[in-house]
Amino acid sequence: MPRIRLLSALVAGTLVTITVFAAPPPVNNHPELHAVAGAVKASNLHATDVALVGFGTRHTLSTTTSKTRGIGAARRWVAAQFETISKGCDGCLEIVTPSQVFTGKRMPKAGAEVMDVVAIQRGTSDPDRVIVMTAHLDSRRSDVMDAAGDSPGANDDAAGVAALIETARVLSKHRFPATLVYSADSGEEQGLYGGKIIAQYAVDHGWKVEANLNNDMVGNSHGGNGAHDPHTIRVFSEGTKSNETLEQAAYRRYHGGGVDSPSRNIARYMAALAEQYLDDFHVRMVYRTDRWGRSGDQVPFLDQGFPAVRLSESNENYDHQHQNVRVENGVHYGDVVSGVDFDYLANVTRLDAITMASLAMAPPPPPDLAVKGAVAYDTTLSWQPSPGAASYNAWWRETTAPQWQHVQSASDADSVVLKDIILDDWFFGVSAVSKGGWESPVEFPGFAGSFARSPKLGPDGKPVDALYPSFGRFGGDAVGQPSWRHDTKSDGHP
């Protein structure tokens, strides 16, 4: 695949059209992102992974009182890492441990407490706009209810938590307009409970979540079938919003927008960043919410109406997933440290870090984006001002193309006319650009592409309009209210 870099910045007010194959936004080059990528260390990732595996098991229902074994000790260790990082940045991280009691198919009848360990790096000027990175701390054995036996979970998902802590360490050295959140979830293997907790925490705290980057199984580059690819990470994204109304779905089905949810445009943004800033490391976009019949902690974010993607390794080894550690007929089963490729994991972490940084530096995508041009030779895009934006870029692409192809600056206007670009023949979008040249993801017009949280809720908290039915349901039910504890010290938790 040809890779062409955009070497020149757009000059505001100048009409420029560029065709590229694989490297659209951002248009500008930021040395800061090269520095962020360069600061990620594979040795730190290895140390974290070994430490987490050292807790024997991190099963959600394992002991919380032992100092050396189980989910409680692992949670306290993660909180301590965040505290150490925070000491190095003048207290830039606020550490919270939201929790809730759940029951369900993979939980005790009476319910059990699930607790996340979350570090919040508040934005300097737009703190309610939030980018959330997640990974899950809990692990499992062949029997998902076996909370006693060893369950190393080195790749699933200690590798993801290692990426989370390393990203927090690297980004804590910088300040960002928007807020960055690093959430080590529990309860994922029992039913995505930790994802539900942090997504609900976001709702209850009025966060405008622009993206959730869920890292789950991101450290293995060798497939169980012999395939090996250390240069690619899969980024899964839904094509249409999981909570569109019947009316919105009907409109979108007729006019297009089936491959342009905000989650998908986050995936495109990541693909472009990887081409621009990483050394021979690429995003393979997968047009699915998750792997076939499987799920992860990005799903509760999608359910809450927030954009979210899942990062997963290029090739999986099924013998190493959800299996007791053992050798049978010469086959090694189980998820141990030797199965993690830490140089590969370092590249995944670099992608997380530059994506978090770029999103948090850039303004949000423009609100209320609309497109017009039926029975006309020109296409007109219009939007509301994006806070912090100094200019806007209009992007378009072939309706069958995976990535944005053409760009025209709209300067600081709130609309642009694309001369002799016929609406019928292309998909369109607009990004917002800061004074310093930081560019937001491209947003597709209308509901299908909007980054605003949806759907519209009534006073009872339920959707006002009938929703398009969603597929499946993961996990069980809450027992009682969530607890949004605000520090880790007052009551001896986590």
**Interface residues with Zn ion (CB under 5 A)?**
156-157, 216
Tokens 């032992």 belong to which residue? 66
Closer Cβ to Zn ion, 18 or 144, answer by number: 144
Going from the C-alpha of 135 to that of each of 43, 181, 257, 259, 473, the distances in angstroms are 19, 11, 29, 26, 20
Closest approach of Cβ 136 to Zn ion, in Å? 6
Please give the distance of CA 402 from its chain centroid, rounded to a whole number: 19
Tokens of 452: 């605003």
| Shortest spacing between CB 365 and Zn ion, in angstroms | 29
C-beta of 187 vs 445, nearer to Zn ion? 187
Distance CA 398, CA 404 (A): 8
Closest separation between CB of residue 291 and Zn ion, Å? 11
Q: For residues 160 and 366, which CB has a smaller minimum distance to Zn ion in the complex?
A: 160
127-162: b or e for each residue (b if 16 or more CB lie within 10 Å)?
Answer: eebbbbbbbbbbbbbeebebbeebbbbbbbbbbbbb
Helices 342-361 & 42-53 angle (0-180, nearest 10)? 110
Shortest distance, CB of residue 297 to Zn ion, whole angstroms? 8
Cα Rg of the chain, angstroms: 22
**Least distance (Å) between residue 301 CB and Zn ion:** 15
Q: Which is nearer to Zn ion, 216 or 303 (CB)?
A: 216
Q: How far is the CB of 7 from Zn ion (least distance, A)?
A: 40
In the numeric block, which tokens belong to residue 268? 């495109």
Q: Which is nearer to Zn ion, 62 or 391 (CB)?
A: 62
Nearer to Zn ion, 30 or 58 (CB): 58
Choice between 170 and 217, CB closer to Zn ion: 217
- Measured CA to CA, the distance from residue 157 to residue 322 in angstroms comes to 11
254 versus 292: smaller Cβ distance to Zn ion: 292
Report, in Å, the least distance between residue 264 CB and Zn ion: 22
Bond before 385 cis per omega within 30 degrees = no
Question: Smallest distance from the beta carbon of 313 to Zn ion, in angstroms?
Answer: 11
State the nearest-atom distance from the C-beta of 418 to Zn ion, in Å.
43
Q: How far apart are CA 467 and CA 179, in angstroms?
A: 30
Please state, in angstroms and rounded to a whole number, the distance separating the CA atoms of residues 397 and 260: 12
Residue closer to Zn ion (CB basis): 185 or 210: 185
Beta carbon of residue 3, minimum distance to Zn ion (angstroms, whole number): 31
Rounded Cα distance between 63 and 56, Å, is: 11
Residue 336 C-beta: closest distance to Zn ion, Å: 15
State in angstroms the smallest separation of the CB of 148 from Zn ion: 20
**Residue number, 236 or 428, with CB nearest to Zn ion:** 236
Q: Residue 212 or 431: which CB sits closer to Zn ion? A: 212
Minimum CB separation from Zn ion for residue 22, in Å?
Answer: 29
What tokens were used for 335?
A: 């998820």
Q: Which is nearer to Zn ion, 334 or 366 (CB)?
A: 334
Nearer CB in complex with Zn ion: 142/243: 142
